[in-house]
Amino acid sequence: MSTHSDMSEAAPALVPCWSCKGPVASRALFCSTCGAVQPPGQTDHFMRLGLMRGFDLEPDQLQKQYFGFQRRLHPDRFATRSPKERALSQQQATALNEAYEVLKDPLRRAAYLLRLAGRVVNVEEAATVNDPVLLMEAMEMREALEEAETADDVAELSAKAEADVASCVRSLSKAFAADDLDAAGSLTTRLKYLGKLAEEAKARRIRLTRQGI
Amino acid sequence: MLLQIHEPGQTPNPHANDKVAVGIDLGTTNSVVAIAREGEAEVLRDAEGAGLIPSVVSYGDDGSVVVGRAARRDLLGNPDGVVSSIKRLMGRGLTDVKSLAGTLPYELDEAAEGGMVRLRVAGRTLTPVEISADILRAVKAQAEETLDKIVDRAVVTVPAYFDDAARSATKDAAKLAGLDVLRLVNEPTAAALAYGLDNQAEGLYAVYDLGGGTFDISLLQMEKGVFQVRATGGDAALGGDDFDHAIAEHFLAERAAVVGQKAITSAEVKQALATARMAKECLSSSPYGEWFIEMDGETSKHRLEREEFETLAEPFVARTIAICQGVLEDAGVVPSEVKGVVLVGGSTRVPLVRKRVAGLFGQEPLADINPDEVVAVGAALQAEALTVGSDTLLLDVTPLSLGIETMGSIVEKVIPRNTPIPVAMAQEFTTYQDGQDAMLIHVVQGEREMVDQCRSLARFVLTGIPSMTAGAARIRVTFSVDADGLLTVSARETVTGVEQEISVKPSYGLTEDEMANMLRDSMVHAREDMEARLLAESRVEAVRSLLAVQAALSVDQDLLSADELGVIHAAMAEVERTSREGDRAAVQAAAEALETATKTFAERRMDRGIRNALAGVSVDRLNETLAEEP
């Protein structure tokens, strides 16, 4: 699926193993000579979890890879080892958790892919939106939410918001597959807003159902 | 083989087999200790067969300390010297506790300096950490007596919803009691571990844990030996004790109607609470009961029916149900997706609790492992997993969001709740005045937007920021939460490269000095313990370096002349010898000498590696193929 090829196919960079001081590939998790756990090193989240770089990701596959790496690298596996090994395993597990959290969420995954491609989409902060269609949609949704009085009305709006999110994710998948980064960029912004609306609708639905208990 | 080399952790040590690791459930009402051997956990019981050790400490005027059932018996005889439910105060400050005023049968030391709350007991001033340490010492002693072995390491459980200060306090208490904490594990996670291993469970499970003083609800995904916490929530001050208080208040109100309104001492509150507890336990199996309260020579009679008790308990149970709904929503899960509900904690024996939990999840909850012991069983299994090894793995999350105070007392979240741990996240902040050279960093924990509605964990000042115009400095604040759920915060100015890292201890924790004093005062020969631990650590490190050199020799020995090899072997023999019989300084010196002796060897190995790589020979022999792992 991915068109962004790996940086290089050349021989892997070598660094001295901190424990036995011999050569070890900079991306290796363990030293091939002495078996010591290595520091996490610089790599992208996909490679860290042994996955192909791309937007389409099977949640089961992601979880399986994540569990597989954590099984070997989690600090619980190093509880009786030397302090240095414990610290490194914590760094490794931290890096795995970060990769997992980013890749698990379609919005963060899309923004991350764009960043890897040299484009900036900040999903954390409010970016200026200059898409009039999106602005209009958001306004209409908020108005509808404010006017909705019964739990059923809100549930309907909430379901619609969820459907919008799902459809936007499908469009994003197509855009990334076609390597259309401009489209992917604006869809990512769109996904962010749709996600927010879906959250608001959900929060409202929960408040309404809670009152009914 | 030239040298006999042992795996780390199996260092030849004549006493190694006499030292074991246990799992401890340090509960609000009762504590339990268990040990696991080859995946089978067993609760350690006293001579009379009791596994529950009441978390009650009785301090005598003569300086004596009694823990457990004997202490609970003292409740009526020596009420002012007896402390119970101390877990409720772990990691709490005086202001937190004042909000509970009137409900706590303690006398607080208002004048005490520092953040941590202090209790006045039998003429002494004690912190909750010291009192918890007394409980842990008794638990450790019981385990040692039953096993006839030294217990020096433990997995200690904490409520999932415990904040950072309470976690630190628990770890400090274990340290004071002479226990090395292998890991702090969340109680619901431990319970799930106990169930998961027994039942080979797969899928989504909810653990409903209502103890004496805390409530926790966790959702866990269990998948082929991996226990992943999806979401967690709770209330660190909600539990069966609240039922007792409600009943006690009811009894005292009834009594006031009969004998007249009188001021009540804290000793009398304790007596009323003890009666209320009996009533609660009785009403879990009987439809009604009658109790007597005798104070000041006047006796009053109280009859209570289960229905009335349920009316008194209902608001508290309703709160737990609302918290469960919130956690389900957090995880995006509907109750019907939950495959099973595990009940933990003595308070889940109350029929009303079972009824409401069954109602929410649409199924009868599981309770086939004793709810009082299931947490300790899970902790013991985890202790074995950590020391001996295991196929299972626990992946836990942060229970509460961590954030920092920004302008206008608004909280900026840095790590949201339910983030998998260990985790490290950084956020950049800047100065808002020209030439500003210091910045106050205030770390808070909680879900609310305003600082004063969250729990203040720590404040520290980052100084030495180079003089710049407002907004030019880039201060990167990094939050790290380790696998125990403990937080470290560091800050660094990135523009000029001026680095300043500060690790903070929570405001309500003990300072290093206080900890050192307590260790000195305690009877556990703490200094020697500490030295022994450091020695053990340096031995583990020495053996690690020895194994590393041996591994290197097995592949690249041909890079060395016979003389050079001889020098390395001699250095290895020295490390081997000192790690067996030397003190810490000798072990470290030998390890350093080995490092020096192998320096040239290491350089040649790197050169060879690079030559091979250029020639197209991959040294990446252990290229991970995790996907194929079972």
Tell me if A22 and B609 make a contact (CB, 8 A cut-off): yes
Q: Which two tokens stand for residue B73?
A: 């018996």
Whether residue A139 is found in the same domain as residue A100: no
Q: Where does residue A160 rank: exposed (0-12), middle (13-18), buried (19+ CB within 10 A)? A: middle
Is pLDDT above 80 for B411?
A: yes
- Shortest CA gap B506–chain A (Å): 21
pTM to 2 decimal places: 0.81
Number of helices followed by number of strands (H, E) in chain A? 7, 2
Nearest to A79 among B387, B480, B609 (CB): B387
Among A6-20, B306-320, B373-387, B494-508, the least confident range: B494-508
pLDDT of residue B448: 82
Q: Could A50 and B627 be called an inter-chain contact, meaning their C-beta atoms sit closer than 8 Å?
A: yes
CB B157 within 8 A of CB B379: yes
Of residues A145 and A39, more confidence is placed in A39
Interface confidence (ipTM) of the complex: 0.83
Count structural domains, chain A.
Answer: 2
CATH (domain of A72)? 1.10.287.110
Burial A78-93 (b: 16+ CB within 10 A, else e): bbbbbeebbebbbbbb
For residues B477 and A125, the model is more confident at B477
Task: Chain A: give the shortest CA distance to residue B41, in Å.
Answer: 19
In a domain, A8, yes or no: no
pLDDT, chain B, mean: 82
Q: Nearest Cα to B539, choosing from B5, B1, B183?
A: B5
Q: What was the pLDDT predicted at B620?
A: 47
| Residues paired with B395 in a beta bridge | B228
Q: What is the pLDDT of residue B212?
A: 83
Q: How far is CA B421 from CA A89, B236, B518, in A?
A: 12, 20, 31
Q: How far apart are CA B543 and CA B537, in angstroms?
A: 10
- Centroid of chain to Cα A94: 14
Of B396 and B496, more confident: B396
Q: Of all helices (H) and strands (E), which one includes residue B573?
A: helix B562-581
- Between CA B217 and CA B362 the distance in angstroms is 16
Residue of B606, B610, B618 best to disrupt the A interface, most CBs of A under 10 A: B606
Q: CA-CA distances (angstroms) from residue B536 to A37, B164, B195, B336, B581?
A: 21, 28, 34, 50, 12
Does residue A83 sit in the same domain as residue A138? no
Helix (H, G, I), strand (E, B), or coil: what is residue A98? Answer: helix
In this structure, what are the phi and psi dihedrals at residue B93, rounded to the nearest 5 degrees? -100, 170
A22 neighbors A16 (Cβ within 8 angstroms): yes
Note the pLDDT of residue B113.
Answer: 54
A110 part of a folded domain: no
C-beta separation of B124 from B107 below 8 A: no
Model pLDDT for residues A4-55, shown as the tens digit of each residue: 444 444 446 888 999 888 888 888 899 988 889 999 988 899 999 999 999 9
Tell me the three state secondary structure of residue A156.
helix
Residue A1 is assigned to a structural domain of this protein = no
- The one-character DSSP state at B368 is -
Q: Identify whether residues A149 and A85 lie together within a single domain.
A: no
CATH code: domain of residue A193:
1.20.1280.20
Report if residue A109 sits inside a domain: no
Same domain, A100 and A20: yes
How much is the pLDDT for A81?
86
Residue A121 included in any domain = no
Q: Bridge-partner residues for B33, per DSSP?
A: B24
Q: What is the DSSP string of A40-77?
A: --S--HHHHTT--SSS---HHHHHHHHHHHHHHHSGGG
Mean pLDDT over residues B224-242, rounded?
86
Task: Give me the percent of chain B exceeding a pLDDT of 90.
Answer: 30
Mean pLDDT lowest for which of A43-57, A103-117, B467-481?
Answer: B467-481
Average pLDDT over residues B342-367: 91
CA-to-CA distance for B560 and B489, rounded, in angstroms?
46
> Can you give the pLDDT at residue B6?
44
Encode burial over B550-572: b for 16+ CB neighbours within 10 A, e otherwise: bbbbebbeebbeeeeeebbeebb
Contact B443, B404 (CB under 8 A): yes
Same-domain pairing of A20 and A80 = yes
The range of the structural domain enclosing residue A96 comes to: 14-104
Asked whether residue A70 is assigned to any structural domain, the reply reads yes
pLDDT of residue B32: 95
B422 vs A contacts (CB less than 8 Å): 75, 90, 93-94, 97
Q: In 3-state terms, what secondary structure has residue B66?
A: strand
Query: Percent of chain B scored above 70 by pLDDT?
Result: 86
Choose the final residue of a domain: A89, A104, A119: A104
For strand B393-395 and strand B226-235, is the pairing parallel, antiparallel, or unpaired?
parallel
Strand partners, B62: none
B140 flagged as catalytic:
no
- d(CA B212, CA B349) in angstroms, rounded, equals 12
**Is the confidence at residue B281, as pLDDT, over 50?**
yes
Tell me whether residue A61 is in a domain. yes
Strand, coil or helix: B493: strand
- The Cα B324–Cα B315 span in angstroms is 14
Residue B7 and residue A34 in contact, taking contact as beta carbons nearer than 8 Å: no
Q: If you count residue pairs, one on A and one on B, with CB atoms under 8 Å apart, how many are there? A: 158
Min mean pLDDT across A22-36, B196-210, B296-310, B596-610 is at B196-210
Closest CA relative to residue B568, chosen from A23, A85, A20: A20
Tabulate helix, strand, coil % of chain B (nearest 5): 45, 25, 30
Q: Please state the rounded mean pLDDT for residues A106-121.
A: 89
B408: pLDDT strictly greater than 60: yes
H/E segment holding residue B490: strand B487-493
| Lowest-confidence pick of A181-190, B252-261, B524-533 | B524-533
**Same-domain check for residues A98 and A160:** no
Q: What pLDDT score does B11 carry?
A: 43
Determine which of A27-31, B109-113, B132-136, B566-570 has the lowest per-residue pLDDT on average.
B109-113
Residues B181-207: tens digit of each pLDDT: 999 999 988 998 888 755 567 889 999
Q: What is the pLDDT of residues B61-91, one digit of tens each?
A: 888 888 988 888 887 777 778 888 888 888 8
CB of B332 closer than 8 Å to CB of B195: no
**B18 an active-site residue?**
no
CB-based contact B472:B431 (threshold 8 Å): yes
Q: Which of B80, B130, B134, B187 is catalytic?
A: B187
Q: Are B387 and A80 in contact (CB < 8 Å)?
A: yes
Whether residue A175 lies inside any domain: the answer is: yes
In chain B, which residues have their Cβ closer than 8 Å to the Cβ of A100? 420
Average pLDDT over residues B302-322: 92
Listed residues A66, A88, A104: the one ending a domain:
A104
Q: Which amino acid is at B269?
A: V
Q: Is A210 in contact with B322 (Cβ distance < 8 A)?
A: yes
Q: Is the pLDDT of residue B622 over 50?
A: no
**Burial of B445 from C-beta contacts in 10 A (0-12 / 13-18 / 19+):** buried
What phi, psi does A30 have (nearest 5°)?
Answer: -130, 150
Residue B516 pLDDT: 59
Residue type, B169: A
- Same-domain pairing of A25 and A97: yes
Residues A143 and A100 in one domain: no
Residues A97, A136 within the same domain: no
Average pLDDT over residues B425-447: 83
Catalytic residue status for B187 = yes
Residues A100 and A136 in one domain: no
Q: What is the pLDDT of residue A12?
A: 60
From A156's Cα to the closest Cα of chain B, the distance in A is 17
Of A67, A86, A104, which one is at a domain's C-terminal end?
A: A104
Interface test with A, best of B398, B622, B629 (most A CBs within 10 A): B622
Amino acid B427: pLDDT? 84
B535 CA to centre of own chain? 25
